[in-house]
Amino acid sequence: MNIGITVYPTYGGSGIVGSELGRDLADRGHNVHFISSFLPTRLTELNDRIHFHEVEMMTYPLFEHQPYDLALATKMATVARAEKLDLLHVHYAIPHSISAILARESIKQKMYVPVITTLHGTDITLVGADRSYLPITRYGLQQSDGVTAVSKFLKAATIETFDFDEIEVIPNFICQKHYKRLEHSPLKEELAPHGERLIVHVSNFRPVKRPADCVKILAKVREAGVNARLVMVGDGPERSACVYLAEKLGMNGNIVFVGKQANIADYMGVADLFLLPSELESFGLAALEAQACEAPVIATRIGGIPDVVSDGESGYLSDVGDIAKMTDDSLILLADEDQRRAFGHRGRELAVQRYSTEKIIPQYIAFYERIVSRTASATA
Ligand code: GMT
Average of pLDDT values for 17-29?
Answer: 96
Query: For residue 24, is it within any domain?
Result: yes
Q: Would the CB of 300 count as within 6 Å of ligand 1?
A: no
Distance in Å, CA 94 to ligand 1 centroid: 13
CA of 25 to the centre of ligand 1 (A): 21
Q: Could you tell me what percent of the chain has a pLDDT over 70?
A: 100
Q: Kindly state whether residue 277 falls inside one of the protein's structural domains.
A: yes
Number of domains in the chain: 2
Residue 118 beta carbon below 6 angstroms from any ligand 1 atom: no
| Burial letters 61-75, b for 16+ CB under 10 A, else e | eeeeeeeeeebbbbb
Pocket test for ligand 1, best of 152, 282, 297 (most atoms within 8 A of CB): 282
Task: Check whether residue 40 and residue 149 sit in a common domain.
Answer: yes
Instruction: Confirm whether 181 is domain-assigned.
Output: no
Using the atom order of ligand 1, give the atom closest to the CA of residue 16: 13
With beta carbons less than 8 A apart as the criterion, state whether 103 and 113 touch: yes
- The whole-number pLDDT of residue 31 equals 98
179 assigned to some structural domain: no
Query: Quick check: 65 pLDDT over 90?
Result: no
Residue 155: pLDDT band (50, 70, 90) is very high
Residues 251 and 219 sit within 8 Å (Cβ to Cβ): yes
Q: Do residues 132 and 193 share a domain?
A: no
Q: Which atom of ligand 1 is nearest to the CA of 15?
A: 8
Identify the band that residue 11 occupies on the pLDDT scale cut at 50, 70 and 90: low
279 and 336, same domain (yes or no): yes
Average pLDDT over residues 20-42: 94
Q: Structural domain of residue 140, as residue ranges?
A: 2-173+357-379
Does residue 122 line the site of ligand 1, with CB under 6 A?
Answer: yes
Q: How far is CA 61 from CA 55, 57, 244, 329, in A?
A: 19, 13, 39, 56
190 shares its domain with 317: yes
Spatial separation of the C-alpha atoms in residues 380 and 118, rounded to whole Å: 26
Task: Average the pLDDT over 269-276 and give the result.
Answer: 98
* Res 42: pLDDT: 78
Query: Quick check: CB of 254 below 6 Å from ligand 1?
Result: no
Same domain, yes or no, for 333 and 243?
yes
- Pocket flag, ligand 1, residue 283 (CB < 6 Å): yes
CA 216 to ligand 1 center in whole angstroms: 23
Same domain, 152 and 24: yes
Q: Got the DSSP string for 248-314?
A: HTT-GGGEEEEE--S-THHHHTT-SEEEE--S--SS-HHHHHHHHTT--EEEES-TTHHHHS-BTTT
Residues 102 and 10 both lie in one domain: yes
Residue 77 Cα to ligand 1 middle (Å)? 27
Do 137 and 18 share a domain, yes or no? yes
pLDDT average, residue stretch 212-231: 98
The protein residue with its alpha carbon nearest to ligand 1, atom 14, reads 120
CB atoms < 10 A from the CB of 296, how many?
29
Residue nearest to atom 7 of ligand 1 (CA): 14
Residue 37 lies in a domain: yes
Does one domain contain both 169 and 211? no
In a domain, 180, yes or no: no
- State the closest ligand 1 atom to the C-alpha of 151, by its place in the atom list counted from 1: 14
Does residue 362 fall inside a structural domain? yes
Lowest mean pLDDT among 9-18, 96-105, 235-244, 358-367: 9-18
> 59 pLDDT band (50/70/90 cuts)?
confident
Is the CB of 172 within 6 Å of ligand 1? yes
Edge-to-edge strand ranges of the sheet holding 87-91: 50-54, 31-36, 2-6, 87-91, 115-119, 146-149, 168-169
Q: What is the structure's pLDDT at 380?
A: 75
- The answer on 137 and 22 residing in a single domain is yes
The answer to whether the beta carbons of residues 173 and 357 sit under 8 Å apart is yes
The residue ranking higher by pLDDT, 131 or 275, is 275
Residues 192 and 145 in one domain: no
Residues 198 and 327 in one domain: yes
Q: Is residue 33, in this structure, part of any structural domain at all?
A: yes
Which is nearest to 121 in space by CA: 12, 200, 238? 12
* Closest by CA position to 174, among listed 352, 362, 310, 294: 352
Question: 318-346: per-residue pLDDT in tens?
Answer: 999 999 999 999 999 999 999 999 999 99
CATH number at residue 327: 3.40.50.2000
